Amino acid sequence: MGMKHELSIMSVVSVLSLVLAMIIGGLLTSDHRAEAQSTPTIFISDLVISEGAITSLNITLSEAPNGLAGFDIRVGIFEAQSTIIAQVQSGTVHSSFPLKLEEAVVDDQVRLRGVDLNKSYEKGAVNIPLGTIRIVTVEKGIVDIGALILALDDDSGDPINASISPGIIEVTAAFPIIVNGTSSRDNDGDGIVEDLNGNGRTDFQDIVLLFTEMDKIAITSNVQFFDRDDNGVINLADVVLAFNELL
């Protein structure tokens, strides 16, 4: 009798321990899931580009857990520039928003509005392209491209509480850089010289020039414009990457 009573007590203790472990495990799992939840964020792309260039930056909403009905945002340069580094030329709403409004630039800011009439971005949508902002660079320096959310609604009509991740534009020395007697250029505004022979396009001769001139002062003194793998030096790996870009 005593043995059975003792076994019963042990069984109860075991069950209680198991239940307690399950509760604690559930709480930990819940905490983990809560921590794993991300906040919707409007990202503006970063860019390294030369003086006197014109380029566009992408504006993207990271996610819309309950869909995206529409948005009304102001994008541009919000901090006063003691020296004009860059200026906003225009803004464009992405083509996936059939009902849209793009206002004229005022004080280096542009207001963009779009409505998702086609329901392209429903519950769980991610990496939603809102539009682009067109920038012209003026002088060397760094400037932030920020955004102000005036309205951002989900498919239930509720506001989406999103954060802003500003884009950073680093404006560097002006092109062209003279390589082997020719004016090299950054044709696509990504801060990397592709067109070493300056003929307006990227071709195999550009790869040859990068290989034969990579130890010359024109390139070694402007490493950041030729350094495709971002390791601080120009070597065969950069030549291979340039070749792959051409394919």
Residue 229: domain span = 177-246
Judge if 57 and 146 occupy the same domain. yes
Judge if 32 and 91 occupy the same domain. no
Q: Specify whether the CB–CB gap between 98 and 117 falls below 8 A.
A: yes
Judge if 181 and 119 occupy the same domain. no
Number of domain units in the chain: 3
Judge if 79 and 16 occupy the same domain. no
Judge if 123 and 164 occupy the same domain. yes
Judge if 95 and 130 occupy the same domain. yes
Among left, alpha and beta (phi > 0; psi -120 to 50; other), residue 230 is left
Q: Specify whether the CB–CB gap between 214 and 230 falls below 8 A.
A: no
Q: Which amino acid is at 108?
A: D
Q: What is the DSSP letter of 130?
A: E
Judge if 29 and 89 occupy the same domain. no
pLDDT at 91: 97
pLDDT at 26: 52
In angstroms, what CA-CA distances link 35 with 22, 32, 92, 219?
20, 5, 35, 46
**Residue 30: helix, strand or coil by DSSP?**
helix
In angstroms, what CA-CA distances link 165 with 12, 44, 59, 75, 229?
54, 6, 10, 12, 25
Kindly state the tokens that stand for 176.
């062209």
Judge if 155 and 80 occupy the same domain. yes
Q: Which amino acid is at 104?
A: A
Residues of the chain scoring pLDDT < 50: 3, 5, 7, 9-10, 12-13, 15-16, 19, 23-24, 27-36
pLDDT at 12: 46
Judge if 109 and 22 occupy the same domain. no
Judge if 32 and 150 occupy the same domain. no
Judge if 124 and 141 occupy the same domain. yes
